[in-house]
Amino acid sequence: MYAEPVISIEAIALFIRLLIAHLAGDFIFQRKTWIIHRSSQKWKSRYIYANAGIVAVLSWLLSGHFNCWLIPLLIFILHAGIDIAKSYAPDRPVIFAIDQILHLIATSMAVYLYLDIAGNEFYFQWLFSNLSFWTYLAAYLIVMWPMGIIIAIMTRKWQADYENGDGLRDAGRYIGMLERILILTFIFMNQFSAVGFLIAAKSVLRFGDIRDSNNRKGAEYILIGTMISLAAAIFTGLLTQWLLNTYLT
């Protein structure tokens, strides 16, 4: 006999929807020029407040609690405050990690306030209570956008040693994105053999770069990025499956 999950399914579903709002606001709708402007102008940058506004509006729309506008306002204030603080910090991986942790804490706080103030009643329950849909959507968003940025940050110190001007612009980013989408889909379909086939196929395609001793640094850089990408996609898929098995069985 299985024990009941400590966190309610309503709280998990709401957290995932608000997480999607954060991911969409920070990684899909926010442009690189916004980040550059924020770094130079600090709290005066209008893009800090534009980005916080997008996240707040998306959070309001995905919360289902359309009568409650104070919590989206709080999300706006917290998001803008965190980004203002980040604009004064150096551009380092640890700062990025702290920034995302603070946003997750703010999201958790919003979930608690929503459930405490508005309760479990919300509009369009047939849509917003579908935990499977929102969990799968969040997983795909994570491997498509944030994961690519995280991999770039983790491999930044080796990028200077990787000199390859013959490749297509941004091709590696899109290849990695498609690769993680395929792996995630295979895991959701319980086709782990297909994951192995994909890894083997990419190894064959990259064999020429790997065996070229004159391009060893480039080959090692590609291998590091590939292994991080594969591991991240597999972990995200397994975590998603575990979450759904825990709350839907």
- Model confidence, pTM: 0.87
Q: What is the 3-state secondary structure (H, E, C) of the chain?
A: CCCCCCCCHHHHHHHHHHHHHHHHHHHHCCCHHHHHHHHHHHHHCHHHHHHHHHHHHHHHHHHCCCCCCHHHHHHHHHHHHHHHHHHCCCCCHHHHHHHHHHHHHHHHHHHHHHHHHCCCCCCCHHHHCCHHHHHHHHHHHHHHCHHHHHHHHHCHHHHCCCCCCCCCCCHHHHHHHHHHHHHHHHHHCCCHHHHHHHHHHHHHHCHHHHHCHHHHHHHHHHHHHHHHHHHHHHHHHHHHHHHHHHHHC
Structure tokens at 112: 């608690």
Cβ neighbors of 187 (< 8 A, separation 6 or more) are 195, 233, 234, 237, 238, 241
Task: Decide if 128 contacts 10 (C-beta within 8 A).
Answer: no
What is the pLDDT at residue 238?
94
- Per-residue pLDDT in tens (0 to 9) along the chain, 249 residues: 445 566 788 889 999 999 999 999 999 999 989 999 999 999 999 999 999 999 999 999 999 888 888 899 999 999 999 999 999 999 888 999 999 999 999 999 999 998 888 776 777 777 788 899 999 999 999 999 899 888 888 888 777 666 555 556 667 778 889 989 999 999 999 998 888 888 887 777 665 555 655 666 666 777 788 889 889 999 999 999 999 988 876
